[in-house]
Amino acid sequence: MKTRKLFAMLLAASLIASLASCGNSGDTSSTGSSDSDSQTSSSTSDSSTAESSTPASTKTDSGVLAATTDVTAEDILARDYSEPITISFAGIQVTDGLDYNHGNEYYEWWTETFNVEWDITSLTFDNWVERMNTWINADDLPDWSVWNFNAGDGANYADQGLVMEMPEDWKTQYPNLAAAATCSPANEYYENLYGGMYYFFRPVFANNFPSDTITSHISMFMRTDWAEEAGYDLSANIESGSISLTQFLEYCQAIKDAGLAEYPWYNTSSYVGNVLDRVTEASGVIQNAYYKGDDGMYHWGPAEEETGVKEALRQIKQAYDNGLLYPEFYTLQDPDDIGHFYAAGDAAANMYTGMAAWFDRYEQYMQENLGVSFWDTSDVFILTDDEGVAHDDPSTNYWACNILSPNMDEATYERIMSIWDYGCTEEGQLRIRLGVPDVDWKYDEEGNIVNLVQDTEYGTLENKYTSLYPITGNMFILSDDYSFINPGFTETSREKVTDLYNKRAEITSVKDEEIDWDLSSYSSQAMNLASMTYADEYANIITKDGDFDTNYDQWVSDKLSMIQPVLDELNAAFAE
Amino acid sequence: MTSLAKEKKTVTAAHATGMQKLAINFKKYWQIYLLLIPALVWYLLFAYYPMAGLQLAFKTYKAKIGIWGSPWCGFQNFEAVFRDMYFWRSVGRTLLINVGRLVINFPAPILVALMLNELRVGRYKKVMQTVFTFPHFLSWVVVASIMTNLLSIDGLVNSALSAAGIPTINFLGSEKIFQPMLYITDIWKSAGYSSIIYLSAISGIDQDQYEAAEIDGATRWQRIWSVTLPNILPTISVLFIMTTGNLMTAGFDQIFNLSNAATKNVAEVLDMYIYRITFTASTDFGFSTAVSLFRSIINMTLLVIANKGSKMMGGTGLFG
């Protein structure tokens, strides 16, 4: 009897809920909300707020970014910072337990000069998206956060005012920042699209970029001494600075056959997926797998033979089955995989960040752990397809964006903006990258920068100031750019990284391709449902037993049931 | 008060309805009822009040105007959920894993309790109980780390296999091994702790029944079968019904930590699906709530069916 009553109550409640929802959905449509509300229009808003007077950035004699504005570093430092302010900050790459306020001269200069205390929350790559989304949706953002932008949420958050919209005068008030913002086209595009500046896309490269084409720096680190020992000739590759996937796997096979490594190639599933991205069109590991074909229609990379995804994956699967790739690569965490190269010494190759800082680290760690020099035993190569093309996506030149809480007071806003603005001046960049003037670096009589840390017990700025990153280091302009001229890195590393970029610019697939903003900024519920972690999907196919073709075709067929609605939407909206 | 009045009151009490009985009881034992207040407040605040958030399943969530102010969207979220084949796959996988748990894992604490109860030496019994209970207090992150160290290609088990000249086994990346691994780790972690409730039920059994059985010449096995098990059957019934009511909840912590890219196809249970949709794409709390509400309704239905079934078989029910 009681059960019947309980059911009756539940039934009544669900009916009321249904009626209420039906009734209100009508109200919703009458206020203009519709299905299309869940989609982000990709057409650029007519009401452009991007000011035509945006200051431009130029390269100075010392090669450092400086804005063509009248507001100098001295002007910024001369402002009134007498009121102490605590700024809450959330970002990844923050180390828990480190003091980012006191304890070293580097940080103390920032906290004392700008009279701030950092209240820091550390995020990891695992919880970054989850925590940021929770905070934003709870309207409880820290004052300053680093957010991994995605177009769907970006439009939604801007529309609701869950992130701060910059006041109209921000570009004139903080012109150095505005100049640096022009380095990433995403800043202007999304400012126009959303009708205001909500997201500060952090430029990967500003003015030190050695080539006109922006490409990826991800490269393949390989033991050249083992190649020699195994009788595999790498001389042509060393000359060109590049290696094709087929050659790379032949190299791994030679190393294995010679008994030099049980598993020559160690990488996380992300980097194994990254290999696919480097040798195919539109595999989806880093950028979208959707692309506009020559027919003017949108397609999904893995389903199209012309992209080469299936064949490249087949090669990797074969390598996995032959024991060239570490059998449990999908359980490896970054940087455990590269540790096998420079610390354990049982890996012949891995793919990783091809920046000067990392070349120096490989050198340091190999000397410390293996007693050999990285440069004597190894080299770095650009991975290409068998035609010698290095695949890249047209670059929006940013990695993650800075966002501000809409609830902060004006004083906090002004202080953060001043710090960013200063960080984008030449003086600010030198302080960020080289440390404290006259302590960590100085100008010699000829006006050249002399690094004073290099010959000390620390060797590098990172070793001296353990809390160097990420607040100042990655404040706005990211550190990649300065790799090329930073005397804090060895000359060998800087020359190598510059050489690789120049070589890559010649063989990259992007050249003069334009960014597909329609696609980049598109979002819908169908696209949400079709989202996946491509690196994990590929790792799953690589490790799956049975026939590769059957498994791959089955996977494509499964996914297409979710992908096709997205393609239909994209083609309906943007097909030519 | 006259005897007539007393008699009338007694009669009234005897014929009182449920509500009247409650009122009479409350008046009589109000101090004891007062003690219920903290628990009631807790339930209202943390169990019933959050249920208001379920309305999100029928809304397009707008954080700035909150749950109550967000616009209704009818059954749009449910339509999207039911269109997604990965949702149905995750439902199937959740049921498959949990039916397995019901068959394999549910009896485990009963067996542990029976075994512990049969131990004669008190100190040894306590030590064993502690050993069995301890893993419960380890988080799944720690357990996953232990499993990785044990079962990875360079782990303890594979090293032993290699040393013995036996080919190594890819434990962590095998879809076939994943489900058994869930059961084994779950039993290892939870059976000891869950057996406590059965042990307490066993300790409440009248000792005369054991003595009578012994006098009748019953063996140990017969005593377990004819005395212990029938006496703890009501406890088993209640816990079985409650477990059935959770068939659509497959233990996110465990699966999240033990799964990887190689086993993702067999690991995407409903909780993992919700997590993926909520946190790896654009945030859609309405969609996630719709999935959660669907799960709760299925769980509720299963609970009621199990309860009915238990009562039909002459066992104990949770309610009604």
Number of domains forming the structure of chain A:
2
Q: Is residue A183 situated within a structural domain?
A: yes
Alpha carbon distance A250, B128 (integer Å)? 56
Where does the pLDDT of residue A286 fall: very low under 50, low under 70, confident under 90, or very high at 90 and above? confident
Residue B115 pLDDT more than 50?
yes
CB contact under 8 A, A525 and B320: no
User: Which band of pLDDT confidence, cut at 50, 70 and 90, is reported for residue B12?
Assistant: low
Query: Interface pTM (ipTM) of the complex?
Result: 0.81
pLDDT beyond 90 at B16: no
Same structural domain, A102 and A121: yes
User: Same domain for A405 and A385?
Assistant: no
Same domain membership, residue A252 and residue A196: no
Q: What is the mean pLDDT of residues A395-402?
A: 92
Residues B235 and B310 sit within 8 Å (Cβ to Cβ):
no
- Overall average pLDDT of the A167-189 stretch: 94
DSSP string of B217-244, one letter each residue: T--HHHHIIIIIHHHHHHHHHHHHHHHH
Closest CB to A561: pick one of B64, B75, B85: B85
pLDDT of residue A25: 33
- A453 is written with which tokens? 């840390």
Residue A345 CB burial class (10 angstroms; 0-12, 13-18, ≥19): middle
Question: Residue A281 pLDDT more than 70?
Answer: yes
- Nearest-by-Cβ selection for A540 from B62, B265, B280: B265
Instruction: State percent of chain B over pLDDT 90.
Output: 69
Instruction: Give me the half-sphere count of Cα atoms (radius 13 Å) on the Cβ side of residue B10.
Output: 7
Chain A residue numbers with beta carbons less than 8 Å from the beta carbon of B76 are 25
β-partners of residue A220 are A351, A381
DSSP state of B136: G
CB < 8 Å to B280, chain A: 129, 531-533
Based on the fold, state whether residues A255 and A365 are members of the same structural domain.
yes
Kindly state whether residues A403 and A382 are assigned to the same domain.
no
Same structural domain, A365 and A448: no
d(CA A1, CA A86): 62
Distance CA A43, CA A62 (A): 40
Query: Stretch B9-28: mean pLDDT, rounded?
Result: 74
DSSP E strand stretches across A61-178:
65-67, 85-92, 116-123, 144-147
Rounded to a whole number of angstroms, the distance from the CA of B129 to the nearest CA of chain A is 34
Structure-model confidence comparison of residues A124 and A556, the more confident one: A556
User: Span A115-131, mean pLDDT?
Assistant: 90
Helices (H), A374-439: 374-377, 410-423, 426-434
For an interface test with A, give the residue of B283, B289, B296, B307 to mutate (most A CBs within 10 A).
Answer: B283
B172 vs A contacts (CB less than 8 Å)? 328, 331
Q: Domain residues for A419?
A: 57-208+397-479
A351 and A233 in one domain? yes
Q: Is the peptide bond before A84 cis (omega within 30 degrees of 0)?
A: no
Question: Is residue A68 scored above 70 in pLDDT?
Answer: no
Q: Does residue A378 share a domain with residue A443?
A: no
Q: Are residues A243 and A352 in the same domain?
A: yes
Q: Which helix (H) or strand (E) holds A380?
A: strand A378-384
CA distance B34 to chain A (A): 26
Q: Which two tokens stand for residue A185?
A: 């086209």
Q: What is the mean pLDDT of residues A138-152?
A: 93
Residue A77, domain member (yes or no): yes
Express each pLDDT in B121-159 by its tens digit. Answer: 888 989 999 999 999 999 999 999 999 999 999 899 999
Q: Biggest alpha carbon distance in chain B?
A: 94
- Answer yes or no: do B85 and A331 touch at CB < 8 A: no
Asked if B100 contacts B179 with a C-beta cutoff of 8 angstroms, the reply is yes
Give the distance from residue A350's alpha carbon to the nearest chain B alpha carbon, in angstroms: 19
Looking at the predicted structure, is the pLDDT value of residue A352 above 80?
yes
CB pairs under 8 A between A and B: 130
Domain B76-312: CATH superfamily, name plus number: MetI-like (1.10.3720.10)
CB distance A28–B71 less than 8 Å? yes
**Do residues A156 and A247 both lie within one domain?**
no
A332 domain residue, yes or no: yes
Do B130 and B154 meet the contact criterion of CB atoms below 8 Å apart?
no
pTM for this structure?
A: 0.83
| Backbone angles phi and psi of A325, in degrees to 5 | -105, 140
Tokens of A187: 């800043």
Contacts of B83 in chain A (CB under 8 A): 529
User: Identity (one letter) of the amino acid at A440?
Assistant: D
pLDDT at residue A49, as a whole number = 36
**Is position A39 within any domain?**
no
Q: Return mean pLDDT, chain A.
A: 86
List pLDDT tens digits, range A489-505.
Answer: 888 999 999 999 999 99
Q: Distance, in angstroms, between A240 CA and closest chain B CA?
A: 35
A243 in helix, strand or coil?
A: strand
Examine the fold and report which residue of A459, A479, A499 is the final residue of a domain before the chain moves on: A479
Report the percent of chain A where pLDDT is more than 90.
64
Q: Do the Cβ atoms of B277 and A558 come within 8 Å?
A: no
Does residue A48 belong to any structural domain of this protein?
A: no
* pLDDT tens for each residue of A33-63: 333 333 333 333 333 333 334 555 554 444 4
Interface test with B, best of A153, A270, A522, A543 (most B CBs within 10 A): A543
Report CA torsion sign: A106, A107, A110, A112: negative
Residue of B63, B261, B304 with shortest CB distance to A536: B261
Q: Are residues A187 and A295 in the same domain?
A: no
Contact call for residues A179 and A68 (beta carbons, < 8 A): yes
Q: Which residues of B touch A525 (CB under 8 A)?
A: 80, 284, 287
SS (H, E, C) A18-72: HHHHHHHHHHHHHCCCCHHHHCCCCCCCCCCCCCCCCCCEEECCCCCEEECCCCC
Q: Kindly identify which residue of chain B lies nearest to residue A562, measuring between CA atoms.
A: B84
Q: C-alpha angle with apex A35: A34 to A41, nearest 5 degrees?
A: 95
Contact A299, A567 (CB under 8 A): yes
Hey, are the CB atoms on B84 and A152 less than 8 Å from each other? no
Are A120 and A100 in contact, with CB atoms under 8 Å apart? yes
B283: chain A residues, CB-CB within 8 Å: 133, 137, 153, 156
Q: How far is CA B284 from CA A251, A287, B77, in A?
A: 46, 22, 9
Residue A16: the pLDDT is 38
d(CA A552, CA A303): 10
Q: Do A327 and B170 touch (CB under 8 A)?
A: yes
For residues A232 and A189, state if they share a domain.
no
| Inter-chain CB proximity A138 and B63 less than 8 Å | yes
What is the distance between the alpha carbons of residues A459 and A361, in angstroms, rounded to a whole number?
11
**What is the structure's pLDDT at A14?**
41
pLDDT score at B250 = 80
Residue A529, pLDDT > 70, answer yes
* Candidate from A149-153, A307-311, A399-403, B161-165 with smallest mean pLDDT: A149-153
Is A148 part of any domain? yes
Residues of B in Cβ contact (< 8 Å) with A268: none
Cα-based angle A206, A210, A213 (whole degrees, multiple of 5) = 80
Boundary residue ending a domain (A479, A504, A529): A479
**More confident: A272 or A47:** A272
Element (H, E) at A450: strand A449-451
* Among B84, B262, B264, beta carbon nearest to A529: B84
B320 contacts A6? CB cut-off 8 A: yes
Q: Measure the CA dihedral B45/B49/B53/B57, to 10°.
A: 130
Chosen domain end from A479, A505, A522: A479
For residues B76 and B58, what is the distance between their CA atoms, to the nearest angstrom?
7
**Confidence class of residue B320 from pLDDT cuts 50, 70 and 90?**
low
DSSP structure string for A175-220? HHHHHHHTTSHHHHHHHHHHTS---EEEES-SS--SSSS-----EE
Indicate if the pLDDT at residue A190 is higher than 90: yes
A139–B64: do the CB atoms touch at under 8 Å?
A: yes
CATH code of A192's domain: 3.40.190.10
Position A1 in a domain: no
